[in-house]
Amino acid sequence: MIVKSNQILIFIHIFRGTFLPFPYLCWAKLTRHIQQNLNRMGKYVLGIDVGTTSIKVVLLEQGSKAIAACYSLPTASDFVDSSGLQTHEQETGIIISTLNKCIALLPREKLLNVSKIGVSGQMHGVLFWKSKTGCDWQNRDFFVVKDTSQLITWQDGRCSAHLLSSLPTPNAHLAVATGFGCATIFWFLRNRPEFLSDFSVAGTIQDYVVSMLCGLDRCVMTPHNAASWGFFNTTTSQWNTEILSEAGFPVVLLPECVVAGGTAGRTVSDWHGIPAHTPVGAALGDFQCSVYHCMASPTDAVLNIGTSAQLTYAMPGGFRPPDAPESGSPISYFPYFDESYLAVAASLNGGNALATFVGMLSSWMKDLGGCVEGGGGGGGGRRRRRGRLLSVRHAEPRRPGPATQRPGGEPHPAGRAAPPAAPRLRGQRRRRQPLPGSRDPGAVPRHRGQPDLHDAGGAPGRGGGAAGAGLR
């Protein structure tokens, strides 16, 4: 048997009736190893993605990397643009409220054992807030938005071609476009300078989340997000501060750059049960993270479809992008991990266009009498159908009956359907067709509540019985 005394394990072996007691020191080492494994078991890593249309959270077991729980909620935080400037802004308070709801859905007993937090999110966009008062914890285990602006997203179109052409030439390999953080700040500088004076910090929405969790006075940003703002040299990991300063840009708003995969700080308070002082990684780009988990080999190419779409592959080690943007080139080079790059062919249209296309097909099939499965009615049904393959059931072939008979009751040759009626002329009223068995089309008037009839056999339209159109 095994006896534990003063942390020393004694193994008493019974052999041929003789007791052979001896200290088995290896057991102490083995016990410590088992205890360390037990300590690692039950530890989780929390992953957060703050996307353009939804918030996603996942709990991973630290040892096995198995998914313990995951949830996703739509943000529905877009502002309606009534300015005519093609702006695209989102309500920061709604985004953070959705994040809190999503985290609260995770099992609290697992949140108590979270050991690390990783955050990613939509790139290019910019959010402004006041240092030290950007959020309010109010002695609770979650924070709410306080002194912040709206989120100006990557889809924002307020920066005209004229404004972009007037900006200084960046010392970077990525060109600046509308929706990029630095371009948006230039727009405010030239059109609403008083707006910028209200804030002291700027970053992406995911940078804001990290800053609030860690209680940072300044924003820290990885090259993933910094390059997406423009005016950032990925080779030196430095902002173009001299170029920007000469143009009057408020460089004090530029975040501090840290390495991708590094730690930004530790949580300043318990958060939905997650202990205080939990390490939080610096926010990463959602595009790089979506590629990282599915690129099994350096020779793989990845097609990523989110709200937008990107086709990408990894560049070989040692690759360095050109010093300046290549005019007319469809390929861009995004910073990845460990000073490597991704070659990217990007499109503004992706899941957003696909969702519109699927909705259009769904509407067409309903108009044609098809039954579209995949969501209920109303706006909520539209959200549930998004991203889900829709199955459409067509009408079953009709058996010989009124629809395949001639007016006199004689079956049509080969059981085929009767020829379609002559098309109506413009302005001509549609003639009512007789019910089955009626000889005189005008003898049976349609009463209120009676379904309209749409072919020679009087099969009911949408909402009619299965015997008419064969829809189930």
Q: Would you say residue 171 has pLDDT above 50?
A: yes
**pLDDT at position 161, please?**
95
Q: How crowded is residue 263: how many other Cβ atoms within 10 Å of its Cβ?
A: 16
Q: Would you say residue 396 has pLDDT above 90?
A: no
Say how far residue 294 (Cα) sits from the centre of its chain.
16
Give the type of residue at 433.
Q
Give the type of residue at 173.
H
Rounded mean pLDDT of 43-70? Answer: 95
Q: Would you say residue 298 has pLDDT above 70?
A: yes
Q: Would you say residue 249 has pLDDT above 50?
A: yes
Q: Would you say residue 404 has pLDDT above 90?
A: no
- Identify the residue with better confidence: 76 or 407: 76
The lowest-confidence range among 140-144, 199-203, 264-268, 451-455 is 451-455
CA distance 250 to 186: 9
**pLDDT at position 373, please?**
60
Euclidean distance between the first and the last CA atom of the chain, given in angstroms as a whole number: 70
Rounded mean pLDDT of 162-168? Answer: 96
Residue 144 CB partners (closer than 8 Å, separation 6+):
93, 96, 97, 100, 135, 136, 138
Q: What structural domains does the chain harbor?
A: 2-40 (no CATH), 44-301 (3.30.420.40)
* Most confident segment among 15-29, 264-278, 301-315: 264-278
CA distance 76 to 326: 37
CB-facing half-sphere around the CA of 44: CA atoms within 13 A = 25
pTM check: above 0.85: no
Residue 387 CB partners (closer than 8 Å, separation 6+):
351, 355
* % of the chain residues with pLDDT over 70: 69
**pLDDT at position 348, please?**
67
Buried b (16+ CB within 10 A) or exposed e, 354-376: ebeebeeebeebeeebbebeebe
The lowest-confidence range among 121-135, 208-222, 295-309, 420-434 is 420-434
Rounded mean pLDDT of 234-256? Answer: 96
